[in-house]
Structure 1
Amino acid sequence: MGIESVRVPQAKVALSTASVYPESTAAAFEIAARLGYDGVEVMVWTDPVSQDVEALRRLSDFHGVPILAVHAPCLLITQRVWSTDPWTKLVRARAAAETLGASTVVVHPPFRWQRTYAREFERGVWRMADETDVRFAVENMYPWRYRDREMLAYAPDWDPTRNDYRHFTIDLSHTATARNDTLAMVDRMGDRLGHVHIADGSGSAKDEHLVPGRGAQPCAEVLERLAARGFDGHVVVEVNTRRAMSAAEREEDLAEALAYTRLHLAAPGAAPPADGTGGEQGGRRAAGRRMGRRKA
């Protein structure tokens, strides 16, 4: 029986600082270094350290963990972080990325009530992208749902592939919440897919950010498809560990997510079973979980 060759992944695997919440941004650098992540994505939010470029540079140098991406403060809870003006936020995110050596700024589509910003967003992001080598990668979002009601909270659209952007971020927890065909979205993004938030989801109305392999998203298939085409962007583990009962349990989850992601980025090409029941994919998911537990 022949031995299948294993790919050497070109994509770096980073840890989002949001993945350690409620621990601090500083803790994320320490955990990323200890578990062997290739770098971090800084979520700029209410933690003052996440907003302080010099503090971030010191953390990166001290732990030997590069900052690969900066997530601009686009969340509801960060409406006053860095500025109340959304364009100022993006200018500061770009400056932070340039100073810290990060290649990507992740940005969400505007909220619908940010009418002027939403109207100018597509042109404005292109203009800013023309002024720097930093990628502005617009992230897919989802409709907000409550019981039987659906609210379209983002404009021009929660699905960025319906607009013209130079680069995209795909978030697999968001595809679950939106109930998208994830692989079809990856195909629509094509070569403009520059950044990945790897997580999982069950299709709940909540944005779950499960450890990959614990939900219903085709996480393994996405990673293997990207690896097969030589994807050289960043894959960022952005999972929710708020329910972890201890620091050790949180690190076990993050180690499992890292092992799963590297496993499927390096896996030999294989088509998923037609019936979607698991087969080789399911075996790889189990292997990823075992690797994560051993490393933790």
Structure 2
Amino acid sequence: MKILLTGANGMVGKNILRLSTKTPHKFLAPSSAELNLLDSHSVREFLQNEKPDMVIHCAGVVGGIQANIADPVKFLVDNTQMGINIITASLDTGVPNFINLSSSCMYPRGAQNPLSEELILTGELEPTNEGYALAKITSTRLCEYISNTHSGLSYKTVIPCNLYGYYDKFDPKHSHMIPAVIKKIHDAVINKSSSIDIWGDGEARREFMFVEDLADFVVYAIDNINKMPQNINVGLGTDYTINEYYKVIAEVIGFEGEFIHDLSKPVGMKQKLIDDSKLAEFGWRHKTSLKEGVLKTYKHYLREDYND
């Protein structure tokens, strides 16, 4: 197949491209300058010219709690517009297969864990990333509507848990928890700091998967899209406390100081663990343990010289 991959310069996109050489498929990976997803005319023209057999939509404005709180307008508007443009243009130009990358932040803040795919839009969203979640819900529902009303089209959504790993962002203003903590603890070791602060009490639970595992799932899904559920969670099926993540990262990097909890800081949802029942039925499982993933990510951090 000829496959269009949006967001090829992002963390998920780069990891998919790394594994794409193991497939027989041809990947188109335009930059944002070559394909502006915010311009509906350009998107439609690109699809008409290239006629891909599948689109994998990974592009988006992403970031951690700080970034979401600082600019909710951009997170809502840009992500919604990109999703609508690429999905509707794919439909109108006859693209038969579409894999939409979404996020577990779509689930209601008060939903019972583990979070099953049926819980989307059954309750209030987490306020700290509501704009991003609304955009992802829109794309997810749009794919559902298309699949339900257009026989022969497979427009389906992958809902990953939190991710970390190769090509991550390590700037604390834009990064998610694990890369931010890797940089924080690395700097503490370099500066010989005796303590590190943790937002909140550290008891909130999170599920983080090594991003290369998600890329492996996408490669598996390409050849099995017809039997893939309409919406499918992709994760570990297990979670850890923030304190446990700090402990593992400290062990990998070699930090021996103490942790101090800052109870004035926001912590987001208390738990966000996906239900992996459909994932197991689909026949895929993650490969990378937490410690192995953190070690690989830290080596990548050192190798890429993010350490300004």
Aligning the two structures, in what range does the TM-score lie when normalised by the shorter sequence? Answer: 0.3 to 0.5
TM-score between both structures, scaled by the size of structure 1: 0.37
TM-score between both structures, scaled by the size of structure 2: 0.36
Larger Rg: 2
